A and B are shown apart, each in its own frame.
Chain A
Amino acid sequence: MKRSLDTILLIAAGLIIWQLLHMAVPYALTSPAGTAVKAWNMLNSATFWPHAAETGKAFLYALLLAIAGGLAIGLGLGLNRTSAEVAEPILVSVYSLPKVTLYPLILLIFGLGVPAKIAFGTLHGIIPIAIFAMNAVRNLAPVHLKTVKVLRLSRTQTLLTVFIPGALPEIVSGLRIGFSLTLLGVLIGEMFASQRGLGYLIMNAIGLHDVPTIMAVIAMLGIAAVLASAFMLWLDHRLHHRAA
């Protein structure tokens, strides 16, 4: 109860700061109330939904690809000690590359349109998921690995009954970061060389200096991201506590 009160207080403080900023620079920043009204109008307008659906579709595919690919890479590399040691610095340095620079390459491969956005989102999300999954497998308790040997489990059995359940808490942490970055990747993809999607809406509004639209889209994205993230954080805590 006290915790939710604190959250409400924090949100209230944020809104007050936002309102004060709005009063300082009214042309650059819409007020919280104005943003809410604009967001409500957009949600009720027919032109908004195709863009939201486009972003949602690209994000969903990108996230699924990032999860599948990241887990395959991470679990595959983590199973073997040498391959994990070889791969870790490579993955970490790929992770910290400014991937925007690679966007032209992706556009040249996939052409303009949804596939390029999906590929760009996947590129952002796949690496953190792989890194977390790999470290999760590497840090499994040795006694579990010995049990696998004693029981002579097959590779599939090992993966399904020991590795994935044992590594699940870490994997969920990776998914949380992968989720955020995939969304960011899809949006950046839409902000450059795109004609549809929420990123395009933002870019278009920037071009027209339509501040209320910019703020409304960001606010809606922000709320969706925070809610999804809070859910995964809750899952994360639960899994880590169960494991401990």
Chain B
Amino acid sequence: MSRVGWIRLLVVGGFILAIELLCRTGMISPRVLIAPSDMAIRLYRLLLSGQANADIIETLGNVAISLVLSVSGGFAIGAAIHALPRLRRAIDPFLASYYALPFFAFYPLFIVMFGLGRGAVVAIGFLFGVVAMIIATLNGFDRIPRVLVRTAEVYHMGPVAAALRIKLPSAVPYLFTGVKLAIAYCFIGVIAAEFIMASSGLGYAIAYAFNNFDNGKMYALMFFIIVLVTIVNALFYTYERRLMRRWGR
């Protein structure tokens, strides 16, 4: 590992250790926060007991479905918008302010449209993820070298063929950023929807534990989500770095 990597490990480790000490010495009351080691132990017991397995599988399934939908949908919509410059100029400010809208409020609408169950949660995850992907696709397509676009014209490629065979591969680094953001946003959307509204899933389990003063279970699940998202991020980060190095960027 590089020097920077070691310092980073030290910083994160020091931070966790500081919280651990503050909790263990009673400076932070266990009613507010339990020690990280305690969270890990409780999580281990929770996973062994199998109580949370159904919620975990449900949430991960919801994230996966909404991720697939938002990445493929976002790419298709982004490609379509990019092909229409007038629409694109008009839509830009709306895309930029999109994330300020509280979509969770549309949950009742989605229940009417998709029924009770995972459809409504997936729809909110999709709404969260898709725009990050659209913006990344637009950014990527903006930076395609002109010569490649000309090549597509010379070969008389149709819009779909050009999008899939020329634009998709040459915009990959930007699309990668979009996928990374879409993962983050799908997690945020799905868990927030479950937290506020739904009646199953990890987000719901955390809100339920909070309402029942069950701090142990609540922090165990929060710990699980934080560790899971961090691992997913770290994997993508290393993979992206390797990809970039291979392409010499």
Interface residues of A, Cβ cutoff 8 Å to B: 2-3, 6-7, 9-10, 25, 27-29, 82, 85-86, 89-90, 92-93, 95-105, 107-109, 176-177, 179-181, 183-184, 187-188, 191-192, 199, 202-203, 206, 209, 211, 214, 217-218, 221-222, 225-226, 228-230, 233
B147 CB–A CB distance under 8 Å? no
**Residue from the list A181, A192, A225 in contact with B195, Cβ < 8 A:** A192
Q: Choose among B100, B102, B112 the residue that contacts A28 (Cβ–Cβ < 8 A).
A: B112
User: Which B residues contact A (CB, under 8 angstroms)?
Assistant: 4, 7-8, 11-12, 31-33, 86-87, 89-94, 96-102, 104-109, 112-113, 180-181, 183-184, 187-188, 191-192, 195-197, 203, 206-207, 210, 215, 218, 221-222, 225-226, 229-230, 233-234, 237
* Chain A: CB-nearest residue to B207: A192
Q: How many A-B residue pairs have CB under 8 A?
A: 159
Q: If the complex has contacts A95-B184, A98-B191, A108-B32, are A226 and B94 also in contact, measured as CB distance less than 8 A?
A: yes
- The winner among B94, B113, B183, B197 for most chain A CB atoms within 10 A is B94
For the complex, what is the distance from the CA of A188 to the CA of B84, rounded to whole Å?
A: 35
- What secondary structure prevails in chain B residues at the interface with A? helix
Residues of A near B96 (CB, < 8 A) are: 176, 229, 233
Q: Is the pair A90, B108 in contact by a Cβ cutoff of 8 Å?
A: no
**Contacts A/B (CB < 8 Å), 14 sampled:** A6-B87, A27-B112, A89-B237, A97-B225, A97-B226, A101-B221, A104-B210, A104-B222, A180-B99, A184-B99, A218-B105, A218-B106, A222-B101, A226-B94
User: Inside 8 A of B89's CB, which chain A residues have their CB?
Assistant: 3, 6
Determine if B99 and A181 form an interchain contact, defined as CB atoms under 8 angstroms apart.
Answer: yes
A18 to chain B, nearest CB (A): 12
A235 to chain B, nearest CB (A): 12
Query: Is the CB–CB distance between A85 and B4 below 8 Å?
Result: yes
Given A100-B188, A108-B32 in contact, is the A82-B102 Cβ separation under 8 Å? no
The closest CB in chain A to the CB of B5 belongs to A86
Contact A10 B195 (CB under 8 A): no
CB neighbours (8 Å) of B237 from chain A are: 89, 92
Q: Are A96 and B229 in contact (CB under 8 A)?
A: yes
Task: Given A184-B102, A214-B108, check contact A98 B192 (CB 8 Å).
Answer: yes
In the complex, which residue of chain B has the Cβ closest to the Cβ of A211? B108
Contact of A82 among B7, B188, B191, B230 (CB under 8 A): B7
